[in-house]
Structure formats: structure tokens, C-alpha cells
């Protein structure tokens, strides 16, 4: 059985405790994970704090930081297959997806490597004579990074990359579910040559490890990805030190299809948008809002494609949908589908877990037209699509915005002016028009409302990891006059 370790202060160590990790494809234990509690968290945060103020890190130039990030990017690219296999093994995310995603993770590190020495301050044209005033951009401090189980290498890269570019130090908490790839990634951080304590990677449970990290007095900023309920705990804990937070949360994203769309193309995008990653994707296009005149045709097309999907072992390159990451997730999805059907939703395909070993759930479509279904409101975080239909563009927009989330959205139409109106009207952080699920290190990513408030990707993400310092310099050699003598 494989044993993984924490990476704290430049060294690999066992945790205060350990726990078994389950292979979701079989339901059997395959590895032993270290478990950080308050003591390990304290060690890691103190290491990050020392590295920030005392180590070689703050003396390095931004260009040197960038070179280390380039080296890390190359190492991720060279080890992408090993990391992909670990992620697949520990989370059940299929190898086709993990291989492609992790190869692309290297591009995120490369992008932030290039930005490292382009973070500029400012010279202010101040309204006083004999005074020079500058704004310096400095690292915000020690950052706590907390990620969920799905795509841990990707979700941590969008935090680690910009934070390192900004000169921060950090403690990354991998999810207790499927932490293997992130713990293994620590070996690449080490090999790249980052000074001890700059990047610390641990794992543990939310209530003990995550909470202790979020409220640690030496943490200046918490970058969190996960569910809205956990985010509320994170915000409450961060209030203790008035640490800032950036939150990337869940979604119930609308996927709008007009009758004039290329239906075959839209159907392929919808299938990928909801069934890729077995639906365990924050941007899953989980609410199909389709024009009534093409609803039956479009849903029939989706059903045909959904039923043709190859469900199988995640390490098999031919598999298109693998298991869910945990039994908890399988139970949650099964219960929410059952509740939705009780509320009047009609089952088009799928519907209940696949019996046997592993946490499998088939691609599922629920027709929720004219019913108040919980499946239109609550996040499944699984392979379940809920369908409603509309007659007018105004109705489509109203349905799209009828959610407390606001992460992503898709619009399929050939009508350019309509596409422009919807781009402006949809309340979500991302609008994809005639495409879905495209991401890039260059494009900011994040949501509104219950989907959070952070932006990851792009230059803006780097600025979130900086704070400004205003410097006043008097340039006159004249003595400062006595302030109490009236002139
Ligand atoms: P979760 O909120 O249960 O857990 C996320 C992380 O928070 C885990 O590492 C967990 O250990 C930790 N945690 C739990 N309690 C904590 C506490 N009190 N303090 C600090 N940390 C704590 O989420 P999950 O179920 O693992 O992941 C699924 C959720 O993540 C979904 O809602 C999904 O939409 C969301 N997600 C969002 C994005 C995005 O970029 N917007 C990406 C992926 C997933």
C-alpha cells in the first residue's frame, strides 16, 4: 500500500495521524494519507511565515521567482502522466481528462512565471510640492489555500501560480478526499528549488485541519474553493484575524439553447458540459433551458448521446464516464434525484446508482418543465441534467437568472444581436457563446452570489495576492518649520 507524506518547511514528514484513502473505482483502500491537525497546521504556517520574512525568498528578485516558476512548469509537464494516474486512482476522474488537464496545468505555471517581474507599482502625481509618493506592491503575506477533491492540481495551480508570482508564501491544504496528486506535486516543488517554507502542502479533515488553517493568526489571506456552506465557515474563521478571503464556490449554471442553434453542436457541448468529470465540475451546465419548439428533438438527441457514453474503469483510456469520487457523493446524488422525481420531475434516462463495486452513477436527465423541482435549485455536483423550456428570449433570461448561484452559463444561438443581449443580461461570471467549458490561464474565472467572489486566472488574480504600501518622500532640504508657529 502506498504511503504519502506532508511537505512542511522543505521536508517530507508523516502527519500527526493518518487515514486510509479509498479507490472510488473499487471501494477498496489503496493508500495511507497523512492527517494534519492543529499541530501540523501550526508548523506549516510558521514555516511559511519565516520563509516570508527571514528566508532567502524575500531577497530574491521577481525575475528569479519567475525562473523557479518556469522550472516548476517544466517539471509538471514532464511528470504530467504520473500525476494524472495518481489523480485518477485517488479520485476516479478518468485518465483521459486528468492527462489533458494536468498537461495544461503546466501552462498556468508558465503564464504566472512570465508575470512575476511585470507586477508594477506606481508613482503618484501628488498635489503637494517637494514630495515624491510611490505605491509599492508587496506580497499580501502567508496565504492559506483550501481546495476540494475534484481537479486538485488545477484548482491549486490557479492559486499557487499567482501567489508565488506575487512573492507570497503559502500552506496548501489538499482535500481529504483524493489528496495523492497534490502531495506528490510537492516533490516537484522541492525539485524546482523553492526555498524551504515557501510552499507547504498538507492534508487533513475540514473541521480540524481546514478550520485551524483558516483561523491561524499568521494567515493573511484565505483562498478557498469548495461549497458555499463550507465557505461560510471559512469567512467566520477568517473574521478572527480579519484575514481577506477569495471564494470560488459551486454553481447551477444555465445552458440556453435557442431553436436556431446548431443542435448537434449544442448537444455535444451540453453532454460535455454536464457529464464530463462525471458532473463533478463547478461549471457543469446543469440546467438546460431549451426553446420549446425544439425541446423534444434536442432532449432525444441528448438521451441518445447519454446512453451511448462508455462507463468504466477510470484508468482505461476508452472510458468516458468514471465513478464519483466518494460514496457520500453517490448517496447525495441518488437522494436528490429521488426527491426531484417525487416533486414531479420526469426521468428521461439514468436515475439511480449502478450496483456493484465502486461509486458509479449513470448520466441522468430529468425533465423538470412546469414543476418546482429541487434539481433546478440544488447543486448535484454529479452527472444529472435538469431540463426546462421557454417560449421567449425574456423567459429564457428570467429562467437563467432564477438561481442564487452565478458561476458560468452557455448560450447557443446563431442570432448575433440576441447573443449580445444575453451576454449582458445573464448574471454569471462566465458566459460562453456557442461553446462551453473553455478555460485559459489568460482569462479570469469566478462567480457572483453563492458562487463566490474571487477571480482566478489572468493578471487580476496576481493583484489579489498583493497589498499596496504608500511611500512619502520629502525632497526639500529646507528644515521642516515649527508646526506651532503661525505664518
Ligand atoms: P467542501 O466545501 O466540502 O470542501 C472543500 C475543502 O474545504 C476541503 O479541502 C475541506 O476539507 C475543506 N473544509 C471543510 N470544512 C472546512 C472548514 N471549516 N474550514 C476550512 N476548510 C474546510 O467541498 P467539496 O464537497 O470537497 O467540493 C465540492 C464543492 O466545490 C462544490 O460545491 C463545487 O461546485 C465546488 N467547486 C468550485 C470550484 C470553483 O472554481 N468555483 C471548483 C471546483 C469545485
The answer to whether residue 144 sits within a structural domain is: yes
Specify the residue with its C-alpha closest to ligand 1, atom 15.
Answer: 206
> E-assigned strands of 318-362?
346-349
Same domain, residue pair 169 and 288: no
Residue 160: its H or E element: helix 152-166
Same domain, residue pair 92 and 125: yes
386 CA to centre of own chain: 23
Enumerate the β-bridge partners of residue 142: 169
Name which of 219, 240, 239, 273 is nearest 41 in CA terms.
219
**Residues 9-63: tens digit of each pLDDT:** 999 999 999 999 999 999 999 999 999 999 999 999 999 999 999 989 999 999 9
Same domain, residue pair 327 and 429: yes
Ligand 1 probe mutation, 172, 221, 227, 406, most atoms within 8 A of CB: 227
Kindly report the CATH number assigned to the domain that includes residue 381.
3.40.309.10
Cα–Cα distance measured from residue 89 to residue 3, given in angstroms and rounded to the nearest whole number = 14
Name the active-site residue from 35, 85, 176, 248.
Answer: 248
pLDDT band at 348 (very low <50, low <70, confident <90, very high): very high
Same domain, residue pair 169 and 313: no
Percent of the chain with pLDDT over 70: 100
Percent of the chain with pLDDT over 90: 98
- Average pLDDT over the chain, rounded to an integer: 97
Same domain, residue pair 113 and 192: yes
Cα–Cα distance measured from residue 61 to residue 57, given in angstroms and rounded to the nearest whole number = 9
The tally of domains found in the chain comes to 2
Same domain, residue pair 227 and 375: no
The answer to whether residue 480 sits within a structural domain is: no
The pLDDT value given to residue 370: 87
pTM equals 0.96
Query: Can you give the residue range of the structural domain that contains 387?
Result: 254-433
The answer to whether residue 487 sits within a structural domain is: no
Same domain, residue pair 120 and 205: yes
**Residues 432-472: tens digit of each pLDDT:** 999 999 999 999 999 999 999 989 999 989 999 999 999 99
Is residue 219 within 8 A of residue 40, CB to CB? The reply is no
The answer to whether residue 44 sits within a structural domain is: yes
The answer to whether residue 481 sits within a structural domain is: no
Same domain, residue pair 66 and 208: yes
Same domain, residue pair 350 and 219: no
Other Cβ atoms less than 10 A from the Cβ of 274: the count is: 31
Same domain, residue pair 261 and 244: no
Same domain, residue pair 344 and 454: no
Cell reading at 17:
495521524
pLDDT band at 124 (very low <50, low <70, confident <90, very high): very high
The pLDDT value given to residue 485: 84
Name which of 170, 234, 172, 174 is nearest 203 in CA terms.
174
Name which of 181, 231, 147 is nearest 76 in CA terms.
181
Distance 322 CA to ligand 1 centre (A): 21
The answer to whether residue 416 sits within a structural domain is: yes
pLDDT band at 100 (very low <50, low <70, confident <90, very high): very high
> E-assigned strands of 84-130?
122-124
Place of cell 429562467: 399
pLDDT band at 487 (very low <50, low <70, confident <90, very high): low
The binding-site residues of ligand 1, defined as CB within 6 angstroms of any ligand atom, are 146-150, 155, 173, 175-176, 205-207, 210-211, 214, 225-227, 230, 233-234, 248-251, 282, 379, 381, 407
What share of residues in the chain are helix, strand, coil (percent, to 5)? 40, 20, 35
The pLDDT value given to residue 432: 98
Same domain, residue pair 242 and 258: no
The answer to whether residue 482 sits within a structural domain is: no
The pLDDT value given to residue 486: 75
Cα–Cα distance measured from residue 286 to residue 142, given in angstroms and rounded to the nearest whole number = 36
Distance 246 CA to ligand 1 centre (A): 13
Kindly report the CATH number assigned to the domain that includes residue 185.
3.40.605.10
Rounded CA Rg of the chain: 24
Category of 449 on φ-ψ map: left (φ > 0), alpha (ψ -120 to 50) or beta: left
Is residue 112 within 8 A of residue 65, CB to CB? The reply is no
Question: What is the average per-residue pLDDT within 139-153?
Answer: 97
Cα–Cα distance measured from residue 8 to residue 198, given in angstroms and rounded to the nearest whole number = 9
- Residue 333 or residue 483, greater confidence: 333
The answer to whether residue 466 sits within a structural domain is: yes
Question: What is the average per-residue pLDDT within 132-145?
Answer: 98
Amino acid at each position: 500500500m502506498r504511503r504519502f507524506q506532508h511537505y512542511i518547511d522543505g521536508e517530507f514528514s508523516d502527519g500527526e495521524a493518518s487515514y486510509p484513502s479509498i479507490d472510488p473505482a473499487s471501494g477498496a483502500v489503496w493508500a495511507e494519507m497523512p492527517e494534519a491537525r492543529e499541530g501540523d497546521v501550526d508548523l506549516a504556517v510558521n514555516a511559511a511565515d519565516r520563509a516570508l520574512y527571514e528566508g532567502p525568498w524575500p531577497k530574491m528578485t521577481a525575475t528569479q521567482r519567475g525562473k523557479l516558476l518556469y522550472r516548476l512548469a517544466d517539471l509538471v509537464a514532464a511528470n504530467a502522466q504520473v500525476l494524472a494516474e495518481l489523480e485518477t486512482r485517488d479520485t476516479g476522474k478518468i485518465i483521459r481528462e486528468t492527462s489533458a488537464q494536468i498537461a495544461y496545468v503546466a501552462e498556468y505555471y508558465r503564464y504566472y512565471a512570465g508575470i512575476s517581474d511585470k507586477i508594477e507599482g506606481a508613482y503618484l502625481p501628488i498635489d503637494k510640492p517637494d514630495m515624491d509618493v510611490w505605491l509599492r506592491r508587496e506580497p499580501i503575506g502567508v496565504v492559506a489555500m483550501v481546495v476540494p477533491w475534484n481537479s486538485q492540481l488545477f484548482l491549486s495551480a490557479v492559486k499557487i501560480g499567482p501567489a508565488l508570482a506575487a512573492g507570497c508564501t503559502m500552506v496548501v491544504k489538499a482535500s481529504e478526499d483524493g489528496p495523492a496528486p497534490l502531495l506528490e506535486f510537492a516533490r516537484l516543488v522541492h525539485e524546482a528549488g523553492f526555498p524551504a517554507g515557501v510552499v507547504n502542502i498538507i492534508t487533513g479533515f475540514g473541521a480540524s485541519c481546514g478550520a485551524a488553517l483558516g483561523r491561524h493568526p499568521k494567515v493573511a489571506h484565505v483562498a478557498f474553493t469548495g461549497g458555499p456552506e463550507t465557505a461560510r465557515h471559512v469567512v467566520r474563521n477568517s473574521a478572527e484575524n480579519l484575514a481577506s478571503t477569495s471564494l470560488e464556490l459551486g454553481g447551477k449554471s444555465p445552458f440556453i439553447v435557442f431553436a436556431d442553434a446548431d443542435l448537434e453542436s449544442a448537444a455535444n457541448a451540453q453532454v460535455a458540459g454536464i457529464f464530463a468529470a462525471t458532473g463533478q465540475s463547478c461549471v457543469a451546465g446543469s440546467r438546460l433551458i431549451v426553446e420549446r419548439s425544439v425541446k423534444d428533438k434536442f432532449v432525444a438527441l441528448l438521451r441518445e448521446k447519454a446512453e451511448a457514453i462508455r462507463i468504466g474503469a477510470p484508468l482505461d483510456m476508452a472510458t468516458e464516464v468514471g465513478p464519483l469520487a466518494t460514496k457520500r457523493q453517490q448517496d447525495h446524488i441518488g437522494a436528490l434525484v429521488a426527491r426531484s422525481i417525487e416533486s414531479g420531475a420526469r426521468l428521461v434516462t439514468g436515475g439511480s446508482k449502478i450496483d456493484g463495486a465502486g461509486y458509479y452513477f449513470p448520466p441522468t436527465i430529468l425533465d423538470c418543465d412546469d414543476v418546482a423541482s429541487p434539481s433546478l435549485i440544488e447543486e448535484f455536483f454529479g452527472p444529472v441534467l435538469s431540463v426546462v423550456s421557454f417560449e421567449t428570449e425574456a423567459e429564457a433570461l428570467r429562467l437563467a437568472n432564477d438561481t442564487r448561484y452565478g458561476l458560468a452559463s452557455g448560450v447557443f444561438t446563431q442570432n448575433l444581436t440576441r447573443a449580445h443581449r444575453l451576454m449582458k443580461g445573464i448574471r454569471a461570471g462566465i458566459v460562453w457563446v456557442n461553446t462551453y467549458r473553455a478555460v485559459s490561464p489568460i482569462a479570469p474565472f469566478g462567480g457572483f452570489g453563492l458562487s463566490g467572489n474571487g477571480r482566478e486566472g489572468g493578471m487580476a488574480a496576481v493583484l489579489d495576492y498583493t497589498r499596496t504600501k504608500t511611500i512619502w518622500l520629502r525632497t526639500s532640504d529646507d528644515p521642516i518649520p515649527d508646526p506651532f508657529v503661525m505664518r
